[in-house]
A = this chain, B = another copy of it.
Amino acid sequence: MAKHDKPESFVTEITPRSQDFSRWYLDVVRRAELADYSPVKGCMVIRPYGYAIWEMVQQALDKEIKRTGHVNAYFPLFIPNSLLTKEAEHVEGFSPQVAYVTHGGGEELEEKLVVRPTSEAIIGTMYASWVQSWRDLPILINQWANVVRWEKKTYPFLRTTEFLWQEGHTAHETAEEAEAETQLALDMYATLCEQILAVPVMKGQKTESEKFAGALRTYSIEALMGDGRALQAGTSHNLGQNFAKAFDITFQARDKSVQHVWGTSWGVTTRLIGAVIMVHGDDSGLVLPPAIAPYQVVIVPIGRENWRETVLPKAKALRDELVEAGIRVHIEERDERPGWKFAEWEMRGVPLRLEIGPKDIEKSQVMLARRDTREKLPTPMDGLAANVRQLLDAIQKNLLERALAFRAEHTQRAGDYEAFTAAMDGRPGFVISPWCGDADCEAQIKTETQATIRNIPFGGATPQGTCVRCEKPAVAEAWFAKSY
């Protein structure tokens, strides 16, 4: 059995990031054991180390979702096909990507069931029965769930047929409240990305051709990956009364009239893990922000053969001290060379490595090594937890600053099409240009340059002059990029 011939575990070289970004990404995903391919076309397995990151993201976001008055619930995985088709734009947008269950319990079903690509249809149906009066509003419900969208070309975390996400679905008395909710959700996402994932994002509105199928308006947060491509990191939709009308979600208003609710929906997915990898990673592998690192510190005991007797007990005492202070710690106890262990945990992106050997113990100190800057800092054991906490905070801050600087370096303006096409030759990052608001013009730009409008940032200056591509007057300053 050939598979048993290879060594049990080892750090295989990963493709340098600068050489081939896409291969580097796939190497990191596999070698850091974040995810693996599965025998199901287009579906991946999220391995424990990757899933632990997702749990960190979930915890941080779920806390905010609840703090802002939302509650979690769970709706069925299956949606009768007749419900999906009730909102015309919605079904048109999603039906090409849908998976159908046609047989169950040994029989062909009378009506085929859609495996949810998103849950507006099933949730809207329930809201119609739950809402009677304005007193029942707002409904502020979130769901953590798996969804399925058939994809031809998949990429771990970024685009898979099945993925995990949360989807908020709210119903409101007024248009103003729905708009405020849409913005609130977007703000939650932006804060999550910047404060927890250390990924800077640009908030703005999607164009008509890029908005959610069935929405009035879609807002997004857009992040810049290390290769200069943009990634849509989260979306928040103001649904207006579209779904309320399609699903008959009505209420008796304060003035006794019967009205349709105003809806929103918003979601972020496991794709955020892909963003973390592609924003912070380097040639040695993953670099994790401390806020979502399953292990914030890895302790590597160093010493001669008898390190288990001479060094390990002290390493464990330090581990306990750090854990007591609320820090997530792993001790590397395997029988491997220290160099191997260093490379292994660098590849896995642990923010801080703590090296400890017999001489350190003599001097009552340890060596701390930062993953982000690779600085090595001799640090006294006395007051260790406070120093580690401070360093973790510094790393978190540095990662965001570094990403902000990268984005600034890779954001430029282009006033005319010659400059625009020249800039888009390669992967320049964001290019800000005036745009006429015309969908055909947007489509032409995409065909000619592969660049799409990521969004129209909020609060942008009123554009002067004409569209970057055509002669029509500009209506907005749009952020263009090639994207995932």
Contact = CB atoms under 8 A, between A and B. Distances in A.
Given A101-B101, A133-B8, A43 B74 contact: no
Interface in A46-87: 46-48, 50-52, 54-55, 71-80, 83
A351 B421 CA distance: 67
B101 A40 contact: no
B115 A4 contact: no
A146 interface: yes
A379 B48 CA distance: 49
A43 B146 CA distance: 16
Contacts of A101: 99-102, 115
A8 B48 contact: no
A55 B71 CA distance: 11
A150 B102 contact: no
Interface size class of A (residues with CB under 8 A): 35 or more
Given A8-B136, A101-B101, A115-B101, A47 B76 contact: no
A80 B113 contact: no
Contacts of A151: 105
Given A132-B4, A132-B6, A146-B146, A72 B48 contact: yes
A258 B1 contact: yes
A40 B105 contact: no
A298 B248 CA distance: 34
Nearest to A140: B48
B4 A258 contact: yes
Given A46-B73, A76-B162, A38 B133 contact: no
Interface in A151-167: 151-152, 161-162, 164
Contacts of A104: 98-100, 150, 161
Given A99-B101, A100-B102, A105-B150, A43 B115 contact: no
A19 interface: no
Contact of A9 (B77, B83, B135): B135
A74 B73 CA distance: 20
A141 interface: yes
B9 A39 contact: no
A377 interface: no
A55 B72 contact: yes
A3 interface: yes
Contacts of A72: 48, 51-52, 55
Given A8-B132, A100-B102, A132-B8, A146 B47 contact: no
Contact of A39 (B83, B96, B152): B83
A464 to B, nearest CB: 45
Contact of A75 (B45, B71, B98): B45
Given A4-B252, A100-B102, A39 B115 contact: no
Contacts of A52: 71-72
Contacts of A100: 101-104
A195 interface: no
A18 interface: no
A216 interface: no
A283 interface: no
Most buried by B among A71, A101, A122: A101
Contacts of A8: 132-133, 135-136
Interface of A: 1, 3-4, 6, 8-9, 36, 38-40, 43-48, 50-52, 54-55, 71-80, 83, 95-106, 112-113, 115, 122, 125-126, 129-130, 132-133, 135-136, 141, 145-146, 148, 150-152, 161-162, 164, 250-252, 258
24 contacts: A3-B250, A4-B132, A4-B251, A4-B258, A8-B136, A39-B125, A40-B76, A40-B113, A40-B122, A43-B76, A45-B73, A48-B72, A52-B71, A52-B72, A55-B72, A95-B106, A98-B105, A99-B103, A100-B104, A101-B102, A103-B112, A104-B150, A115-B115, A146-B146
Given A45-B75, A45-B126, A52-B72, 18 more contacts: A4-B133, A36-B130, A40-B78, A40-B80, A43-B76, A44-B76, A45-B73, A47-B73, A48-B72, A48-B73, A51-B71, A74-B164, A78-B162, A99-B105, A100-B104, A101-B101, A103-B112, A105-B151
